[in-house]
Amino acid sequence: MKTVKDNILLIGMPGSGKSTIGKLLSSMTGMEFVDGDELIEQAEGLKLQEIIDLKGLDYFSMLEEKILCELDIKGHIISPGGSAVYYPRAMEHLKEISTVVYLFTDVETLLSHIKNIDSRGIAFKPGQTFSDLYKERCPLYEKYADLIVIAGHSQPKSLAKKIIRQLGL
């Protein structure tokens, strides 16, 4: 059993189920749910992909880091974008106020979950493939995780129950 901090932060690749699991955890624990991607979209009045297309990846990254660093909440399930782990300052802040749960999923399963890879707002560098992104991010997810949960093909409800059990909630 882990000691749970003020929040639970779910990290992982796009398609790993962060938002789905986050909403389930919220309803099961009574903790509020916050979606980092929605915070970014609300701040800009644009969808993630539109921000990347219109203002560039550097601007998107700066905005995402700023929003994550400014989060000052308690009693929440937080689901940031998959690229949150690129911002050490933001991740150190979030790790200070949250128990970090990494939803590990293999690349083949992720690709089967994502139907809108080109319009989803995934922070790709020029020429980068999803597999490249996966290889780059997985060590970062592991670095920040307090708990690693193998998501794979698990049903979201059973995965949420497993997280609750492992965190002793």
pLDDT digits (tens, 9 = 90+) for 123-143: 677 788 889 999 999 999 999
Segments of the chain assigned E as strands = 7-11, 32-35, 76-79, 98-104, 147-150
Examine residue 99 and state whether it is found in any structural domain, yes or no: yes
Examine residue 2 and state whether it is found in any structural domain, yes or no: no
Rounded distance, CA 75 to CA 137, Å?
A: 27
Q: What CATH code is carried by the domain that includes residue 31?
A: 3.40.50.300
Q: What is the pLDDT of residues 58-103, one digit of tens each?
A: 999 999 999 999 999 999 999 998 889 999 999 999 999 999 999 9
Examine residue 72 and state whether it is found in any structural domain, yes or no: yes
pLDDT band at 161 (very low <50, low <70, confident <90, very high): very high
Task: Name the token pair of 94.
Answer: 């979030």
What average pLDDT is seen over the chain? 90
Examine residue 75 and state whether it is found in any structural domain, yes or no: yes
Task: Name the token pair of 28.
Answer: 């099961």
Examine residue 56 and state whether it is found in any structural domain, yes or no: yes
Q: What is the pLDDT of residues 143-154, one digit of tens each?
A: 999 999 998 777
Examine residue 44 and state whether it is found in any structural domain, yes or no: yes
3-class secondary-structure state, position 51? helix
Report the predicted TM-score, pTM, of the whole model to 2 decimal places.
0.91
Rounded distance, CA 57 to CA 60, Å?
A: 5
Listed residue (64, 144, 74, 71) closest to 103, CA to CA: 144
Examine residue 1 and state whether it is found in any structural domain, yes or no: no
Rounded distance, CA 86 to CA 96, Å?
A: 16
DSSP 116: -
Task: Name the token pair of 114.
Answer: 């994502």
Domain that holds residue 53: 7-167
Q: Is 112 or 41 the better-scoring residue by pLDDT?
A: 41
Burial zone of 96 (CB within 10 Å; 0-12 exposed, 13-18 middle, 19+ buried): exposed
Rounded distance, CA 19 to CA 32, Å?
A: 12
Furthest C-alpha separation in the chain: 45
Structural domain count, the chain: 1
DSSP 146: S
Task: Name the token pair of 70.
Answer: 């400014």
